[in-house]
Amino acid sequence: MGARTRTLLTLIIPTRNEAGNVPRLVDELREALYGVDYRVVFVDDSDDETPEVIRSLGEEDGRIVLIHREGAEQEGGLSTAVTAGLDTIVDESEYTCVMDADLQHPPGKVREMLEEAKSSGADVVVASRYAKGGSYAGLSGPMRRAVSVGTKNLARILFKEARKTSDPLAGFFLVRNKAISGIQFRPTGFKILLEILVCAPELSVVEVPLSFRARHAGVSKANVDQGLGYLAHIASLFWYVPSAGRFWKFALVGASGVLVNMFALITLVEYFEANPTVAWMVAVGLSVLSNFLLNNAFTWRDVRHSSRIHFLLRGALAYPVAILALGTNFAVYYPLIKYVSPDFPYYVIAAFLGVVAGTSANFILSSRFVFRPSTPKGLDPKSPPHEIAEKARKELKADWIGLIRAGDLSLVTRSSSGTAPPRPFATTDKSAVEFVLNTFQPTLVVTGPRRLPQSRTNARWTSSLAVPVLEGDHPVGVVYATRDSTEQFTQEDLHWLTAYASTSAPIFL
Ligand SMILES: Nc1nc2c(ncn2[C@@H]2O[C@H](COP(=O)(O)OP(=O)(O)O)[C@@H](O)[C@H]2O)c(=O)[nH]1
Ligand SMILES: [Mg+2]
């Protein structure tokens, strides 16, 4: 590691007109965090004297930093305030704690959260108003409380990652910075914890109970706009984060399949005078196909297939899975109408329960088998390095793939295709490798004809994937793959190589 020492803890505190709270907050933090290496970053959008108050506190105490935003910078308000804070400071400290300035979040909790993070090793510590021993009584009025419970449950129903904590919308949490580096925060939505949980589904989460106090001074800035902003945030997470809310994406696709089925059935029988049984079979076959294609393009769009054959095999597998799901549906429906009651409304309830069971079975089987991520094969550490590299190269259809050691940038092992002789290591390759060693971020680089992309083109591009190999905290090398072809590498290829780099590459370094 470098000689630069990092602060242990950075507090990010968004403020808007909190002049009456900031001095007491800073005092309480100083007392609570005595002996801890911390600093406080206020991200301020005030039009009262808050910035002056913070500035004069900063003159007495160098650990207090002010980012004051004016005009257009303030756009997005609370949401961009927290993400702006995160974006600027994350690399410089080990932990970040986000909290409010109005003393609804007691500063004394911060130390407890820090200790909890250290002792549990978790990535995120949530100060939960809904945990046992916590309380949300500080929310002003029954309306605010109802909205809080409703919005919280909406998040927990939609996103399984939100179920890791009882309070996924908490504004008071602490994260290990390394765990969230690389997340590209979007300016929609101020529920940054939810954003973190959904965008980084692998994070481990623990919580401590929080007694949410009443505001010390000033007024709340919560309003209807923020409520609508929350809904937009949920929609944006659902739509743009591939892994978010997969079950509901799957259910949506399933509902579209019902429409395809009905449309095909009616068309075949009414306009082509098909036999209804034959028409039924064709309609079911078509809806399974359209479901598969939509699931491939939407529900599991981040799960790559390595070849056209692989894609076709998946499509074929969707059929037996659909039959099993239908069987599950019937296995729930039939006993219910037989042993409970075949009359209205019981058979309707039975049919509904059958659909729920069938859809769930279909979802589980589809994620386990049809859209199972292809994992790097040949991980036997005893097989020769070039063999493992060769397998990775074939999977990616790369011209060559190599493992490059940090420091002298020497090649440790490499594999290249028989047809294309390996290109010499060019300046662009070198700068990509160096970029990755500095930023730790897996990177996809494309260089090619300076022309606007067309959907039908025979232009060849040179695309490269560069992925760091980390040992604990620091990069010891880079896996680098390059391809000169009409097809560029995709983000999914980059994911795949990232998985490869974290499992097999360290063996050789
Ligand atoms: N920078 C910034 N901070 C804000 C903005 N709106 C609210 N805050 C801060 O966010 C925290 C929570 O806001 P608050 O009004 O108490 O919301 P409530 O606790 O949900 O009623 C406080 O520290 C506010 O000062 C904003 O537009 N910009
Ligand atoms: Mg508040």
Q: Could you list the mean pLDDT of each consecutive 10-residue stretch along the chain, which spans 509 residues?
A: 69 96 97 96 96 96 94 88 81 90 96 97 97 91 92 97 97 93 78 94 96 91 88 95 96 97 97 95 97 97 88 96 97 96 94 96 97 72 76 86 83 68 72 87 81 68 89 83 87 87 72
Starting from the CA of residue 13, give the closest ligand: 1
Compute the distance from residue 207 Cα to the ligand 1 centre, in Å: 22
Instruction: Give the torsion through C-alpha atoms of 253, 256, 260, 262, to 10 deg.
Output: 130
Compute the distance from residue 25 Cα to the ligand 2 centre, in Å: 13
For 473-484, how does the pLDDT look when each residue is reduced to its tens digit (9 = 90+)? 778 889 999 988
Which pLDDT value is given to residue 70? 93
Q: Report residues whose beta carbon is within 6 angstroms of any ligand 1 atom.
A: 14-16, 18, 43-45, 77-78, 81, 100-102, 104, 220-222
Among the listed residues 2, 63, 65, the one whose alpha carbon sits nearest the alpha carbon of residue 37 = 63
**Co-location of 194 and 78 in the same domain:** yes
Closest residue by Cα to atom 24, ligand 1, is 15
Compute the distance from residue 181 Cα to the ligand 1 centre, in Å: 25
Residue 5 token pair = 């020492």
**Residue that terminates a domain, selected from 308, 337, 370:** 370
CA distances from 245 to 230, 233, 364 (A): 16, 13, 14
The minimum-distance atom of ligand 1 relative to the CA of 77 is 27
**Co-location of 351 and 464 in the same domain:** no
Closest residue by Cα to atom 14, ligand 1, is 220
Which pLDDT value is given to residue 391? 83
**Residue that terminates a domain, selected from 240, 269, 288:** 240
Report the C-alpha gap between 462 and 480 in whole angstroms: 13
Among the listed residues 100, 127, 112, 135, the one whose alpha carbon sits nearest the alpha carbon of residue 21 = 100
Residue 47 token pair = 């039009």
**Co-location of 213 and 254 in the same domain:** no
pTM: 0.86
The minimum-distance atom of ligand 1 relative to the CA of 69 is 1
Q: In what order do the strands lie in the sheet with 64-68?
A: 64-68, 38-44, 7-15, 93-98, 173-176, 124-128, 205-209
CB atoms within 10 A of CB 419: 6
Closest residue by Cα to atom 22, ligand 1, is 100
**Co-location of 116 and 196 in the same domain:** yes
Report the C-alpha gap between 360 and 503 in whole angstroms: 31
- On whether residue 97 sits in a domain, the answer given is yes
Write out the H or E segment, with its range, that includes residue 476. strand 474-485
Compute the distance from residue 189 Cα to the ligand 1 centre, in Å: 13
The minimum-distance atom of ligand 1 relative to the CA of 13 is 23
- On whether residue 377 sits in a domain, the answer given is no
**Co-location of 120 and 12 in the same domain:** yes
Query: What's 15's domain CATH number?
Result: 3.90.550.10
- On whether residue 162 sits in a domain, the answer given is yes
Q: For a pocket test of ligand 1, which of 11, 12, 16, 43 has the largest count of ligand atoms closer than 8 A to its C-beta?
A: 16
The minimum-distance atom of ligand 1 relative to the CA of 221 is 15
For 402-449, how does the pLDDT look when each residue is reduced to its tens digit (9 = 90+)? 888 888 777 777 777 765 555 667 788 888 888 888 888 888 988 877
Output Rg (C-alpha) for the chain, integer angstroms. Answer: 27
The minimum-distance atom of ligand 1 relative to the CA of 171 is 12
Q: Is 337 helix (H, G, I), strand (E, B) or coil?
A: helix
Closest residue by Cα to atom 25, ligand 1, is 15
Domain that holds residue 56: 7-240
- On whether residue 375 sits in a domain, the answer given is no
**Co-location of 145 and 234 in the same domain:** yes
Residue 150 token pair = 């409703």
**Co-location of 281 and 344 in the same domain:** yes
The minimum-distance atom of ligand 1 relative to the CA of 220 is 15
The minimum-distance atom of ligand 1 relative to the CA of 16 is 25
CB-CB contact of 57 with 23 (8 Å): yes
**Co-location of 307 and 405 in the same domain:** no
**Co-location of 193 and 233 in the same domain:** yes
- On whether residue 376 sits in a domain, the answer given is no
Residue 285: half-sphere exposure toward Cβ, Cα within 13 Å: 7
Q: For a pocket test of ligand 1, which of 11, 15, 66 has the largest count of ligand atoms closer than 8 A to its C-beta?
A: 15
**Residue that terminates a domain, selected from 315, 338, 370:** 370
Amino acid at 48: D
Query: What's 399's domain CATH number?
Result: 3.30.450.40
How many structural domains compose the chain? Answer: 3
Which pLDDT value is given to residue 3? 40
- On whether residue 400 sits in a domain, the answer given is yes
Q: Report DSSP state, residue 98.
A: E
Residue with tokens 């509904």: 352
- On whether residue 355 sits in a domain, the answer given is yes
Residue with tokens 């500095």: 438
Compute the distance from residue 139 Cα to the ligand 1 centre, in Å: 14
Which pLDDT value is given to residue 399? 87
Starting from the CA of residue 144, give the closest ligand: 1
Compute the distance from residue 104 Cα to the ligand 2 centre, in Å: 6
The minimum-distance atom of ligand 1 relative to the CA of 102 is 23
- Distance from the Cα of residue 207 to its chain's centroid: 20
**Co-location of 425 and 308 in the same domain:** no
| Sign of the four-CA dihedral 158, 164, 165, 171 | negative
Write out the H or E segment, with its range, that includes residue 75. none
Compute the distance from residue 77 Cα to the ligand 1 centre, in Å: 8
**Co-location of 346 and 417 in the same domain:** no
DSSP assignment string, 42-57:
EEE--SSSHHHHHHHH
Compute the distance from residue 38 Cα to the ligand 1 centre, in Å: 22
**Co-location of 263 and 185 in the same domain:** no
- On whether residue 1 sits in a domain, the answer given is no
Report the C-alpha gap between 95 and 6 in whole angstroms: 10
Q: Is 326 helix (H, G, I), strand (E, B) or coil?
A: helix
Q: Report DSSP state, residue 90.
A: G
Compute the distance from residue 448 Cα to the ligand 2 centre, in Å: 51
- Distance from the Cα of residue 348 to its chain's centroid: 38
Compute the distance from residue 62 Cα to the ligand 1 centre, in Å: 24
Report the C-alpha gap between 94 and 178 in whole angstroms: 7
Q: Is 505 helix (H, G, I), strand (E, B) or coil?
A: helix
Buried b (16+ CB within 10 A) or exposed e, 445-456: beeeeeeeeeee
